[in-house]
Structure 1
Amino acid sequence: MNNFRGLKIDKNIMTVEEFYEELSHVNASRESRLKYANKVLDDRSLFPSLLDILFMADDKVSCRAAWVFEFVCTQHIYHIIPHLELFTKNLKKIHFDSAVRPVAKVCQLIANTYCGKKPNPIKKLLTHQQQQRIVEAAFDWMISDQKVAAKVYTMETLYLFGTCNYWIHEELAQIIEQDFYNQSAGYKARAKHILKRIKAKNKK
């Protein structure tokens, strides 16, 4: 399979090809996603392969990898720490709707953790450049034709990172206001909430 050319494979663990075959059986049910997420949580050596498959962005199995990736990171966001450079460098490759949504949610999880009040490894180890890559991908998702769920996660990500970078709030507010009347009720509800928080933050 040409998708695997150049990928490093440890003979002592499941190969990327084998894991790809497993992920091809994932379906949209919560039970299915959780089943394969638990495999990764039980065997962290599978996490790099999960990312490799996730970033085969023109392959539909990448969407299934994204579903599993979301569940893994929801359960334990710190699994991504050794892979933050790879993850952020490849974010812009993701383009299928069903992959963008879970990846956008993981970006929100990273932002939530980074901007949390308590010290944590992501707050310590996420670099400025990696944060900027997430912000750039998020703005791309905001101005492109993405589903509402992806944009809702993305608004929250940009709001959180914008608490430390005022220009992000300015640009986010401008995009929301320009796009507001063309969007769904779900988008508008979240957008109003985000704009209210931005205004409140700027008054401080």
Structure 2
Amino acid sequence: MARPRVREKLLDAAYALFRDDGAAALTTRGVAAKAGTTEASVFNNFGAKAGLLRALVNERLPQLIEAKDCVKHGDTTDLRLWLEQVYSSAEQFYIAVAPLTTPFWVGNIHDSTGDVLSEILFPVHSVLCERLQALQQSAKISPSIDTHAVASLLIGAALHNALNVIARELVGSDGSQLERGTGNAASSAVVDQVYGILTT
């Protein structure tokens, strides 16, 4: 049975571990120990580790609160400035939340000198940048296009849509797993916008 005070203690403990020791410290046993309770309390209050992580992100990360506030209440008098602020606050949120998942999709990403191997960390983005640069050289797209920015726009939108698909699979209204789908309308709109950028 879930208990509100225990739940809050577990969330406080999870946030403290995440803030002080990083995502690797977020084990159900470690959170329970930090909260001074049992591991069973984690499962009673959150169902599973995924539930704990979801609650941690939604209820404790200040970056999410700041990003939502910027989107909902930011001054749009200067639209470009507001878009920059939205981008910055969203980026800070993703920087904060990404460590919760990166151990699952990133291996050793440094070369022998310690430099980040971006082609391993972001393989599709790297290849897309190279291809766009080749298209520039063949005069198929404008030489003034920032290929890195366009690749980031397209791949970032794909990442966002992929996360939406995953979220829909995880949370069905009746508790069942939802059928895999794609954000076709959203992805078509993004592709149209990127195509417009590349061809004008």
Per the normalisation by structure 1, the TM-score is 0.29
* Structure with the greater alpha carbon radius of gyration: 2
Point out which structure has higher relative CO (alpha carbons under 8 A, 6+ apart).
1
